[in-house]
Structure 1
Amino acid sequence: MKSEDAQVHPLDPSDDAVTEFIDTVNALGVDGRWLVGGFTDFLRLQKRGGGPGMTAEERKFVIESGAMTEAELVVSERSVARGSLEKSAGELWLRTYQETWSANTAAQFLGWTQKEVLAAAEEQRIYGIPVRGRLRFPRWQFSLGSPGKLIPHLETVLPVLTEHWDWISISAFMSVRQRSLVAEGRKTPRSWLRDGGDPAAIADIVESDKWW
């Protein structure tokens, strides 16, 4: 018999968890149907392949290597079975989404029209990411104190970034201090560019795919 921790509970539309989720989204005061649709699209990509999990040999190696005790491994496997990986991925998506602007908000900040914002995104002069047929604009690219209110050299680094990573990875990268970006202390890629740093240094990190 499975323990409670190992059980997987299918979701039903009448569940209290669903009602609570709906109430929470509605309390945000946003287009809830559109936001949930985008989140659903993301979760759909997390669909499992139905693999067998760890083999006996792999379990033995993990335990004997000291990485985990057998009890810790059992707890970890139960957590994964319940959806901990998908939950973490979903939380990351939502956190990153919260750090984006609509085309209207971006236009107001830049002093542009929405048409100009969308045209700039298509030409990769600014960074727009599609969510359910609408573009969202990550906030890291905007800078009130910079010329044009965009971080310098944005057009230079965008093709390099988008060639290697998705928008969630790019947003994370731009906010993490890098060991190789040093000017009075380590800088994030965003602050490096904002403060006049060489965009080639950003390209070097991206192309080496080694950042932290």
Structure 2
Amino acid sequence: MTEHDSTADFVPRPQGGGGHKNREFRVDSSDDAIADFVDTVNDLGIDGRWLVQGLTDFLRREKRGGGAGMTAEERKVVIESGAMTEAELEESERDVARGVLEENAGELWLRTYQETWSGDTVTEFLGWTEEEVMNAAHDQRIHGVPIRGRLRFPRWQFSLGSRGRLIPHLETVLPILTEHWDWISISAFMSVRQRSLVAEGRKTPRSWLRDGGDPTAVADIIESDKWR
């Protein structure tokens, strides 16, 4: 989906399944890693409990179902195809068992979360009341993401130089976006240059709309689900 070679990001399923139940990797509240995490969150100067709860909810949804791992035949195909050597495959399986997929997912959630605004910030930026912001989010005139009972607002939709300080045609593309993807995928899509959005070079959907591009071109990419 992105411009990266898809084979480069291939990670096979863990053998034996149920990696999240492996007692070897379990932690408890007295673990130094937990203490470091708590200190780091507290140093951010934000509502750390709410942030941790949101991340916990996300990781809980990401938890693996514990299905069967790769069969001997699947391993043979991967190795003989040249995609991975046997040593690379074994190392990848060890990484998966340790939780690399969950770690990457958590990092993505946190990184995307950092690119959102609170409701207070949005009301100040747009010059709206809190009620107007909430109503606009409900009507999908702006994109609000519910996290632990509060709405966060991805920053890609705001533009200081645009009329109303929102990217043009947001109301047109937003219902299509939310029908196809979750908020993390939407944020990624809006920041990736597209081959079919060209005006003095490839543009991201956000910059395309901000600079007056036809929203139909963006909608077509979303509907085809072939963004890159």
Q: Settle same-fold status: TM greater than 0.5.
A: yes
Bin for the TM-score computed over the shorter chain: over 0.9
Q: Whole-Å Cα distance in 1 between the matches of residues 177 and 155 of structure 2?
A: 16
1:77-102: per-residue Cα shift (whole Å, max 9, x none)? 00000000010011000000000000
Q: Which runs of 4+ in 1 moved over 3 A?
A: none
Letter in 2 for 1:92: L
Q: Which residue of 2 aligns with 1:133?
A: 149
Q: Whole-Å Cα distance in 1 between the matches of residues 213 and 220 of structure 2?
A: 13
Letter in 1 for 2:171: E
Q: Which residue of 1 aligns with 2:82?
A: 66
Q: Whole-Å Cα distance in 2 between the matches of residues 81 and 59 of structure 1?
A: 16
After TM superposition, the score normalised by the length of structure 2 is 0.89
Q: Whole-Å Cα distance in 2 between the matches of residues 23 and 129 of structure 1?
A: 27
Q: Which residue of 1 aligns with 2:116?
A: 100
Q: Which residue of 2 aligns with 1:173?
A: 189
1:38-187 correspondence to structure 2 within 5 Å = 38-187=54-203
Greater RCO, CA 8 A, separation 6+: 2
1:100-155: per-residue Cα shift (whole Å, max 9, x none)? 00000011000111111111100111000100010000000000000000000000
After TM superposition, the score normalised by the length of structure 1 is 0.96
Q: Which residue of 2 aligns with 1:195?
A: 211
- 1:11 equivalenced with 2:27 (yes/no): yes
Q: CA deviation at 1:8?
A: 3.7
Q: Whole-Å Cα distance in 2 between the matches of residues 75 and 153 of structure 1?
A: 47
Q: CA deviation at 1:159?
A: 0.6
**Conservation of the 8 A alpha-carbon contact between 1:8 and 1:82:** no
- Say which SS state the counterpart of residue 45 (structure 2) adopts: coil
Q: CA deviation at 1:168?
A: 0.3
Q: 1:7 to 1:78 in 2, by over 3 A?
A: farther
- Say which SS state the counterpart of residue 25 (structure 2) adopts: coil
Gaps of 5+ in 1: 1-5
Q: CA deviation at 1:7?
A: 8.4
- Say which SS state the counterpart of residue 130 (structure 1) adopts: strand
1:38-59: per-residue Cα shift (whole Å, max 9, x none)? 0000000012211121001000
**Conservation of the 8 A alpha-carbon contact between 1:93 and 1:168:** yes
Q: Whole-Å Cα distance in 1 between the matches of residues 23 and 82 of structure 2?
A: 27
Q: Whole-Å Cα distance in 2 between the matches of residues 48 and 156 of structure 1?
A: 35
Gaps of 5+ in 2: 1-21
- Say which SS state the counterpart of residue 174 (structure 2) adopts: helix
Q: Whole-Å Cα distance in 2 between the matches of residues 127 and 39 of structure 1?
A: 20
